Structure 1
Amino acid sequence: MIEIYHNPRCGKSRTALAAVEEKTTDYKITKYLEEIPTYDSLKTLLKKLDFKPLELVRQKEKVWVENYKNNPMSDDEIIKAMILNPILIERPILIKEDKAIIARDLGSLNDFLS
């Protein structure tokens, strides 16, 4: 099964969801702005992505720029910022078993789905 962290207002997220729907019927949509991830689920996701927390942050988002950008933060503080402001989480994210990717380009998206 594939899980997609999805934001319906995002064009890249809609494109990724369409690609998933084209390849399989075995998927789960997580609208992460409504179903906010827990601290533990974000830690697990970061491990599957092989990312540091800052790599998962949308650093051009207004909330990041205004509240966090110039503040030194620990990894735990960054994760907590994403929980408080889930709009900061990069999207779309595809998860399959113990692997995950940020599916912003079709090449990596199609490779992941194959």
Structure 2
Amino acid sequence: MSTETTVPAPAPNPVIGQRAAVQVLADLIDRHPGLPAAYTIIHEPNQYRQQVDIQMSSDEFELWREALGIQPADVVLHTTLSHTWVAADMTYDGIHMHLTGFTDPLSAAQANAPRELPAVTA
């Protein structure tokens, strides 16, 4: 009779790969402790980038946007028949951050209103 020792194969993408993203999130909390809590997703890192998604209401989004120094012009409005949200992307200490703020669906008039600055009349 022979005995064979089996050793589990190392995880293809160990959790240690998320350390930098977790650290960036911890640093944000330290720098901006008054920001509203948000639904946060730390993505599995891949060969291209590490990413953190932060989701909240649109009112909370504005507080996060200001704290992170994202310019209003860099915010994108997305709308469908059932959902409306604003989003912005940035890199913070080498980690890609995707912020999303959800709001009530737009009315038909709001959804069809011009969104390009030259098309909006003062």
TM-score after normalising by structure 1: 0.29
Higher-Rg structure is 2
TM score, norm. by length of structure 2: 0.28
Q: Name the structure with the higher helix share.
A: 1
